[in-house]
Amino acid sequence: MYKILLFLYLFFFSYKSFSNEVKILNETVGNGLEVKNHSKLSVHYIGRLEDNTVFDSSYDRGQFFDFQIGVRKVILGWETGLLGMREGGKRTIFIPYQLAYGESGAGNLIPPKSNLIFDIELIKVIPPGYKEIDGYQLKLAITDDFKIIDIRNDDQITNKNKIPGAIQITAFDKNGNFFPDFFEKYKENVQIGEKVIFVSQNGDVSSILANGFVEQLNQVNIYHLKDGVSALEKINFDFE
């Protein structure tokens, strides 16, 4: 369990640091699967400085680059800059140095405070191991054999937004600190293999938790509520 504790701590906070400063300079839209948070990707790419100096190229190595979005295996500019791409597509993105290698740069190839340009060809997309559902699907799940785990903290839950039948097991406090007894409470309420839906306020934290359960704990039948309780409030969901 300690492995996923570290996983969740790192990526809960890194998720909050994402920004929208990446610019798409050029794009050829593919017709395959769309890149979403936690998709696994195979890409070809060319990395250039602003003066068009090439500092890296997967084409030269003759090997695809494989990674997963949303788990900090790549620079932050890639985490956001590839979202929305479709398999078979190509995209050229501009990444400011703050979302690349920062003020220090990287070795002798990337000077300090270097803005970067990447030409990316998306070869393959594998969807996340967990499943994403919307508010209407949650309504159906309430009447089925799902365990709905509401991971929000007490400040986020009011008498007007409680989900019928949900089990409240708070994952993070209001300061973003992970509760180490979360797993014990989870095991008290959920049997291995049961269908589980994680619910958070906006859907971001529940997706991170769901991905951790799948990738780090090899759990199956894991779901998360897209856009969280905030989305339920927009469809006049029947709260408890």
Q: Are 149 and 166 in contact (CB under 8 A)?
A: yes
Report how far residue 182's alpha carbon sits from residue 46's, in angstroms, rounded to the nearest whole number.
Answer: 42
CB atoms within 10 A of CB 103: 9
The pLDDT tens digits along the chain (240 residues) read 444 444 554 444 444 444 458 999 999 999 999 999 999 999 999 999 999 999 999 999 999 999 999 888 899 999 999 999 999 999 999 999 999 999 999 989 999 999 999 999 999 999 999 999 999 999 999 988 999 999 999 899 988 899 999 999 999 888 878 888 999 999 999 999 999 999 999 998 899 899 989 998 899 999 999 999 999 988 889 898
Q: Are 143 and 224 in contact (CB under 8 A)?
A: no
The predicted structure's pLDDT at residue 10: 44
Report how far residue 222's alpha carbon sits from residue 168's, in angstroms, rounded to the nearest whole number.
Answer: 16
Question: Which residue is listed with tokens 């890149």?
Answer: 35
Report how far residue 169's alpha carbon sits from residue 138's, in angstroms, rounded to the nearest whole number.
Answer: 18
Which residue type does 46 have? I
The predicted structure's pLDDT at residue 164: 93
Give span(s): CATH 3.10.50.40, the chain.
18-126
DSSP per-residue string spanning 184-230: HHHHHH--TT-EEEEE-SSSHHHHHHHHHHHHTT---SEEEETTHHH
Indicate the pairing of strand 146-150 with strand 167-168: parallel
- Domain 18-126 matching CATH 1.20.1090.10: the answer reads no
Give span(s): CATH 3.40.250.10, the chain.
131-235
What's the gap between Cα 124 and its chain centre? 18
The predicted structure's pLDDT at residue 21: 85
What's the gap between Cα 226 and its chain centre? 11
Which residue type does 150 have? D
Give me 84's structure tokens.
Answer: 């929305």
Of 221, 162, 229, the closest CA to residue 199 belongs to 229
Identify the bridge partners of residue 124 per DSSP, sorted by sequence position.
Answer: 42
Give me 99's structure tokens.
Answer: 């979302």
Which residue type does 227 have? D
- Beta strand residue intervals within 3-39, DSSP E: 23-28
CATH architecture of 131-235: 3-Layer(aba) Sandwich (3.40)
The predicted structure's pLDDT at residue 35: 96
The predicted structure's pLDDT at residue 159: 86
The predicted structure's pLDDT at residue 20: 52
